[in-house]
Amino acid sequence: MLTALSLTLAGLVMLAVLPLLALGRGWPVGAVVHGGSLLAAAIFAGCGLAALLGGAPAPQALMPGSWAPMLLALDGLSAWFLLLLGLAGACSALFALSHYGRAPARVLSAYPLFLAGMALTLLAADGFTLLLGFEGMSLASWALVAADHEQAENRRAARLYLIFAVASGICLVPAIGLLAAGGEITFAAMREAPPEGWRAAAVLALVVAGAGAKAGLVPLHAWLPLAHPAAPSHVSALMSGAMTKVAIYVLARLLLDVTGPAQPIWWGVPLLVLGAASAVLGALRANLEEDSKTLLACSTIENVGLIAIGLGLACAFRAADLGALAALAAGAAALHALNHALFKSLLFLGLGEVLHGAASRRLDRLGGLIHAMPWTAAAVLVGAGAAASLPPLSGFAGEWLLLQALLAAWRVGDLAFQVLAVGVAAMAALAAALAAAAMVRLFGMAFLGRPRTPRAAGAADGPWPARLALLLPAGLTVVFGLLPGPMLSLAEGALQALVRQDVTERATIAAIRVGDGAGAYMPIGIALLLAVLGAAIVFLVKRRAPSGVARSPAWDCGFIAPPQHLPFGDPITQPSAAGLGQPLRRMLGNPVLAVHEGVTMPPPGDPSPARIEAGFADPSDRLLLAPLARLRDAVVVRTERLRDLTLAQCLMLPFGTLVALLALIAWLEAR
Amino acid sequence: MTFGTPAYDIAHLLGGGVLLLSFVLLYQRRIDAVINAFAVQGALLAAAAAWQGYIQGAAGLYVTAVIAVVAKAVLIPLALRHVLGRFGLQRAVEPALGVGPSLLAAVALVGLSVLVVLPITAGQAQALTREDLALALSVVLLGMLMMITRRNAISQVIGLMSLENGLILGAVAVTGMPLVVELSTAALVLMVAVVGGVVVFQIRGRLETLDTSFLHRARGEEPPA
């Protein structure tokens, strides 16, 4: 199986070369590249599923006879995330097949590399291969974010993205170095010698910063709301659905698996705190954003936060020797990772379809698309329902498990941890509610109401491959939502790797039980109940309705007839995106988001309209990016002085450094 | 192969000779003499490579030796002399650091490289390889020192190439270094020589001198002096 996966990786690299060879020859390269990527994603999903069902194959070298011992392995954890990557990648490639066939060569060749980098990260069985894959993934996705680089905002997004990618590399390389202090970089050897004391603390800080920056955990999330809108839709689906999960995988692999099971309770606290902060901040921002893809990116921050809470909780439970609860928390994280990958890919692809059809990402220029794009609307409704964690859909199962685990956190004896867990539980609940509000706003603004622009009125569903790319994740979202028990059993290998415990006896087809049998979630039963209720309501309504339906124009609140140039009504007569977000902005925005709002009145006698200006600022801009930019400027001013050195002094710098390093080696040897 | 066998002694002698020539390069006061010393160093390097090829039984090292003789002992010195003759350059070296202090610094650098290399390689390699690595590192450091302490562009180019001699000396000493490494190193030398020549001609053409201390007045940002 690993041989097949290595060959798939090699095939993806060859696909990346193809567009460069075909430059300027007019070959249909797009179809080949995206078709190949679809095949590769299907192989990833199939191998992941086979390894989950049939057991892990033995580790194997990536390339026989390469100069570095690059080991591949496929244990339960890798297989779970590989399945996720395969499913999200298949949807994305299918969508690209119908919409991005004519993309420029730099996009076409970066796309398979992006997939290959993610897969290599998941398959790595040693630190070097992990970093190689991770950095490949970062660089390829940077090229994709910078795809549309004519616009200044996209250039800015790509630059910020690259800075964060480099920063996470800078954090992860020393973390791997500290883990491999025994000189062996394979994970098996690292597990034998888990870090302790200051080394453990340094590893924790570096991994949380490095992988957290890629996943979008809170102080390091600034790139997400910028990079996702900048990238093409199928890429942002893959970045949000799969890449953040690959970062979560690195987090889980390095903090829960490789560092060994004997870590103290505080090991999970950073993940809990940052996860809770991400969840609330992401969900809050999702309610305020006016660009649909930025909104989805913020919702990704929220969901990544929830997954991080699950992982942190699993660490703490494991340290407190509460194996069953640890498995519950880890299961919640794994389940939510898979489900989020699917429904977030679905939402990004759906809004990509909207971008194609209605030519805008801004909610204020959409509206009424449910009539123009019924397929897309139905699929996005499923995705939005899952993101709002409505019960029979897939988003609910993971969040319910997570809240159950949080509510059981009092069983960890430490008082400080209990207080923290209560706070985190409140934040997670708040985030879930805010996410639901954000999804209502998204769907309502984009698909309901009346078209706000002529272009939105003339939109149409995409071709069949694109519709399939929406229907596939929508169907999976429903199926996984109905079958969380079997999915948890499937994740057994992953849970074994994370917490050395599984939840098989708690998860059946019909229900998941937590605790001592009191709490149980029966998705199929709930779905049946909802179906019966819905059918009854439909029946009653049909029965009481007069026969024959008459359609007439919607009542427009008594406003005058729309002007000539706005045949679909003045958009101002409908709620705007900022207006829908206003109550939450005023209530919750102020301590964190520095909300400002002001009315500019024209002077008396001036007939121009009064203007209301409202906005907010992300705290990471003010507290993290601005100080860093000042620091950079200070450093640059200092290094500028180096340019005034004479030639001999310039030569002296590297020479002096070399001699100093040699002297350091000599001194270390002499000790 | 240990101390006292002819193979070891001759290899050691040749390596030591290369290092000695590095010292010689440092205290020359005339450019002709610097070029002569560099040619002798190249020849010694070729001899060291050939001897290593003989005792290791590696035919590839003979290629290295031939390249070293042709390029370093003959062609590059001839080219440098041609440059000198064509420009009618002033023949005196103008050291930025005096001869005495630079020799003292050189001795300190040799001590440092011995202190670094010998403990690290203890028990891992043959005595000959360890000694040769220490010698090679010393030659590299002395080449750098020469680049720093000379103000004349030709002396700096020679310093760079003597540094590169040190790299080759290290490469031939290690058993089992593939031929491709040495060939690419040789190609690198050629490139360095070409680039150095071009730079020298450019400096000469623009500034009417080869004294690089004139360069830092002409970097564009400050008004020309």
- CB contacts, 8 Å: A665 with chain B: 116, 120
Contacts A652 to B, Cβ<8 Å: 148
CB A348 within 8 A of CB A244: no
**Mean pLDDT of the region A514-533:** 82
Contact at CB, A655 and B116, closer than 8 angstroms: no
> What confidence tens digit (pLDDT) does each residue in A27-75 have?
788 888 899 999 999 999 999 999 988 877 777 777 766 666 788 888 8
What is the rounded distance in angstroms from the CA atom of residue A535 to the CA atom of residue A619? 47
Kindly identify which residue of chain A lies nearest to residue B95, measuring between CA atoms.
A648
Which residue, among A271, A235, A31, A240, has the nearest Cα to A143 in the 3D structure?
Answer: A235
Same domain for A52 and A176?
yes
The Cα A20–Cα A107 span in angstroms is 11
User: Using CA atoms, how far apart are residues A284 and A431, in angstroms rounded to an integer?
Assistant: 8
Q: Let me know whether A667 and A519 are in one domain.
A: no
Question: Which residues in chain B are contacts of A646 at CB distance < 8 A?
Answer: 213, 215-216
> What is the spatial distance between Cα A105 and Cα A110, in angstroms, rounded to a whole number?
8
Both structure tokens of A203: 């590893």
Q: Is residue A274 part of a domain?
A: yes
Q: How far is A666 from chain B (nearest CA, A)?
A: 5
Q: How many domains does chain A have?
A: 2
Structure tokens at B88: 């009618």
Alpha carbon distance A11, B203 (integer Å): 50
- Pairwise CB contact (< 8 Å): B113 & A665: no
In a domain, A588, yes or no: no
Residue given tokens 């007019």 in the structure block: A26
| Partner-chain contact A646 B213, CB within 8 Å | yes
What's residue B224's pLDDT? Answer: 44
What pLDDT does A16 receive? 87
The more confidently predicted of residues A651 and B166 is B166
Nearest to B115 among A645, A646, A666 (CB): A666
Residue A270 domain flag: yes
H/E stretch holding B211 reads none
Long-range contacts of B3-7 (CB under 8 A, 24+ apart): B3/B127, B7/B55, B7/B128
* C-alpha A207: how far from chain center: 18
Tens digits of per-residue pLDDT, A629-646?
999 999 999 988 887 777
Contact B119 A666 (CB under 8 A): yes
Beta strands in A446-567 (DSSP E): 512-514, 519-521
Give dist(CA B75, CA B89) in Å, integer.
20
Structural domain range at position B206: 6-217
- A648–B213 CB contact, under 8 Å: yes
Pick from A258, A227, A13: nearest CA to A136? A13
Q: What is the pLDDT of residue B221?
A: 47
* Gap between the Cα atoms of A439 and A303, Å rounded: 13
Are residues B144 and A658, on separate chains, in Cβ contact within 8 Å? yes
Express each pLDDT in B183-204 by its tens digit.
676 677 777 777 777 777 777 6
Phi–psi pair at A616, nearest 5 degrees: -150, 165
Is the ipTM higher than 0.90? The answer is no
pLDDT beyond 90 at A475: yes
pLDDT (mean) for A329-337: 92
**In terms of Cα–Cα distance, which of A10, A17, A14, A140 is closest to A72?**
A10
- Which residue in B155, B148, B187 sits closest to B64, CA to CA? B187
Among A589-593, B72-76, B105-109, the range with the most confident prediction by mean pLDDT is B105-109
Nearest to B148 among A651, A665, A670 (CB): A651
Q: With H, G, I as helix, E, B as strand and everything else as coil, classify residue A291.
A: strand
Contact yes or no for A342/A241 (Cβ under 8 A): yes
Does the distance separating the beta carbons of B219 and A643 come in below 8 Å? yes
Q: How many residues make up chain B in this entry?
A: 225
* B170 has a pLDDT exceeding 90: no
A472, A506, A528 - which closes a domain: A528
- Interacting residues of A484 by C-beta distance below 8 A, sequence separation 6+: A335, A394, A397, A398, A401, A507, A512, A521, A523
User: Which contiguous run of DSSP H or E holds residue A71?
Assistant: strand A71-72
How far does the CA of residue A654 sit from the closest CA of chain B (Å)? Answer: 10
Cβ within 8 Å of residue B146, ≥6 positions away: B22, B25, B26, B155, B156, B158, B159, B162
Chain B closest CA to A652's CA: distance in Å? 6
Q: In sequence order, which residues have a C-beta less than 8 Å from that of residue A239 and are 6 or more positions away?
A: A141, A144, A227, A228, A231
CA distance A137 to A348: 20
Q: Report yes or no: A498 and A330 within 8 Å, Cβ to Cβ.
A: yes
Nearest chain B CA: its distance from A63 CA (Å): 21
d(CA A79, CA A65): 26
Cβ contact, residue pair B115, A647, below 8 Å: no
What is the nearest CA distance from A643 to chain B, expressed in angstroms?
9
Token pair for A30: 């797009």
The least confident of A108-117, A395-404, A478-487, A610-619 is: A610-619
Q: Please write the tens of the pLDDT for every residue from A567-583.
A: 666 777 788 888 888 88
Query: B66: distance to nearest CA of chain A, Å?
Result: 30
Give the structural domain span for A201.
2-528
Assess whether pLDDT exceeds 70 at residue B177. no
Question: Phi/psi at A396 (nearest 5 deg)?
Answer: -70, -40
Closest CA to A387 of A438, A330, A429, A331: A438
Which chain A residues are closer than 8 Å to B219 by Cβ? 643
> Dihedral sign, CA of A31, A34, A36, A41?
negative
Q: Are B117 and B133 in contact (CB under 8 A)?
A: yes
Tokens of A291: 């660009």
CA geometry: angle at A586 spanning A580 and A592, to 5°? 115
Per CB-CB distance under 8 Å, the chain B contacts of A670 are 115, 119
- Name the residue of chain B whose CA is nearest to A661's CA: B116
Report yes or no on B150 lying in a domain: yes
Task: Judge whether A645 is closer than 8 Å to chain B, CB to CB.
Answer: yes
Backbone angles phi, psi at A402, to 5 degrees: -65, -45
**Chain A nearest-CA residue for B143:** A655
Domain finish residue from A528, A551, A574: A528
Q: What radius of gyration, in Å, describes the C-alpha atoms of chain B?
A: 18
Q: Do B216 and A646 touch (CB under 8 A)?
A: yes
Query: How far separated are the first and last CA of chain B, in Å rounded?
Result: 61
Residue A624 is classified by DSSP as I
Per-residue tokens: B8: 């070891």
Over A166-223, what HEC string results?
HHHHHHHHHHHHHHCCCCCCEHHHHHHCCCCHHHHHHHHHHHHHHHHHHHCCHHHCCC
Mutation pick from B115, B142, B167, B222 vs chain A, by most beta carbons of A within 10 Å, is B115
Smallest Cα–Cα separation from A141: which of A124, A127, A121?
A: A121
Q: Report yes or no on A220 lying in a domain.
A: yes
Instruction: Tell me if A659 and B112 make a contact (CB, 8 A cut-off).
Output: yes
How far are the Cα atoms of A394, A649, B42, B54, B134 from residue B48, in angstroms, in the given order?
A: 73, 34, 10, 10, 15
Say what the pLDDT of residue A560 is: 64
Mean pLDDT of A580-607: 85
CA distances (Å), A200 to each of A64, A197, A215, A443, B113, in order? 34, 5, 21, 45, 36
All residues of chain B having their beta carbon less than 8 Å from the beta carbon of residue A647 are 212-213, 215-216
One-letter amino acid at B36 equals: N
Tell me if chain B has a CB within 8 Å of the CB of A643: yes
Query: Residue B211 forms beta bridges with which residues?
Result: B152
Residue A658's CB is within 10 A of a number of other CB atoms, namely: 13
User: Going by C-beta distance under 8 Å and a sequence separation of 6 or more, which residues neighbour residue B55?
Assistant: B1, B7, B11
pLDDT for A515 equals: 65
Distance of alpha carbon A176 from alpha carbon A253, whole angstroms: 12
A576 domain-assigned = no
Number of neighbours of residue A4 by Cβ within 10 angstroms: 12
Residue A631 pLDDT: 94
pLDDT at position A476 over 50:
yes
Interface of B with A (CB under 8 A): 96, 109, 112-113, 115-116, 119-120, 141, 144-145, 147-149, 151, 212-213, 215-216, 219, 221
Structure tokens at A663: 């002297």
Which residue type sits at A314? A
Domain boundary among the residues A528, A558, A584 is at A528
Query: What tokens were used for A53?
Result: 């069902």
Tell me whether residues A669 and B219 touch, CB distance under 8 A.
no
Please give the tally of structural domains in chain B.
Answer: 1
Q: Which residues in chain A are closer than 8 Å to B116, comparing Cβ atoms?
A: 662, 665-666, 669
Indicate the residue type of A137: M
- In tens, the pLDDT along B153-166 reads 778 888 888 888 88
Contacts of B163 by beta carbon, 8 Å cutoff, 6+ apart: B139, B140, B142, B143, B144, B147
3-state secondary structure of A615: strand
Compute the average pLDDT of residues B21-48.
89
Q: How far apart are CA A59 and CA A75, in angstroms?
A: 9
Q: Do residues A304 and A248 make contact, with C-beta atoms less than 8 angstroms apart?
A: yes
Tell me, what DSSP letter sits at residue A514?
E
Number of cross-chain residue pairs from A and B with Cβ atoms under 8 Å apart: 44
- How far apart are the C-alpha atoms of A244 and A224, rounded to whole Å? 10
Q: Is some CB atom of chain B closer than 8 A to the CB atom of A464?
A: no
A658 touches chain B (CB under 8 A): yes
Interface test with B, best of A662, A664, A667, A671 (most B CBs within 10 A): A662
Report the candidate in A499, A194, A521, A493 with the shortest Cα–Cα distance to residue A322.
A499
pLDDT band of A299, cuts 50, 70, 90: very high
User: Looking at residue A523, what is its pLDDT?
Assistant: 84
Q: Which of B96, B116, B149 sits opposite A662 (nearest CB)?
A: B116
Residue B152 scores a pLDDT above 60: yes
- Say if residues A333 and A307 touch (Cβ distance below 8 Å): yes
Query: Cβ B144–A665 below 8 Å, yes or no?
Result: no
The answer to whether A661 contacts chain B (CB < 8 Å) is no
Alpha helices in B28-75 (DSSP H): 31-56, 60-67
C-beta atoms of A647 and B212 within 8 A: yes
pTM over 0.90: no
Please name which of A515, A472, A511 lies closest in space to residue A489, comparing C-alpha atoms: A511
